[in-house]
Amino acid sequence: MAKAIIIYETRSGNTEMMAKAIETGLKEAGVEVERKKAARANEDDLKDVDAVVLGSPTYVRNLIAAMKTFLFEMDKADLKGKVGAAFGSYGWSGESIEILTETMKNLAEMDVIEPGLRIKRGPTEKGLEECREFGKKIAESIK
């Protein structure tokens, strides 16, 4: 069974709502999923996974701090050629999705799904459906 891990961080819950809906989409497509907050994740979580899905809201045009710290953990793992995907909630500029995409491509040499998924503020029902569809798209890239 294909395996994915969703690592994310949130301050007010919006990116977490996205993470849960992406998890649902992946599971519906038959992928085994673990979902973990970045502050609690480390290099060991990245062993034996086929896809790494990273989620961060944008704060002051950057990643949320715990995700930035996690990227140094990610640097210790060998993820070359594995599937990557980025998502996050934002208010007006949404840089974090591109930062995550670029880092997965350049630092980890992953095969990243582009574009990543960004949703303004709290996802509506339509937004949550987009997240589930994004999960399915990630699942298709693994197979």
Ligand X SMILES: Cc1cc2nc3c(=O)[nH]c(=O)nc-3n(C[C@H](O)[C@H](O)[C@H](O)COP(=O)(O)O)c2cc1C
- Provide, rounded to whole angstroms, the least separation between the CB of residue 97 and ligand X: 10
Residue 10's H or E segment, with its range, is none
Using CB under 6 A as the binding rule, whether residue 58 contacts ligand X is answered as yes
- Binding track over 63-92 against ligand X, x by CB under 6 A: --------------------------xxxx
Could you give the angle at the alpha carbon of 23 between the alpha carbons of 17 and 26, nearest 5°?
A: 145
Stretch of 6-14, 70-78, 106-114, 131-139 contacting ligand X, by CB under 6 A: 6-14
Using CB positions, name the residue nearest to ligand X. Answer: 91
> 111-141 burial, b for 16+ CB within 10 Å, e for fewer?
bbbeebbbbeeebeeebbebbbebbbbbbeb
Which parts of this chain interact with ligand X (CB under 6 A)? Answer: 10-15, 57-61, 89-94, 121
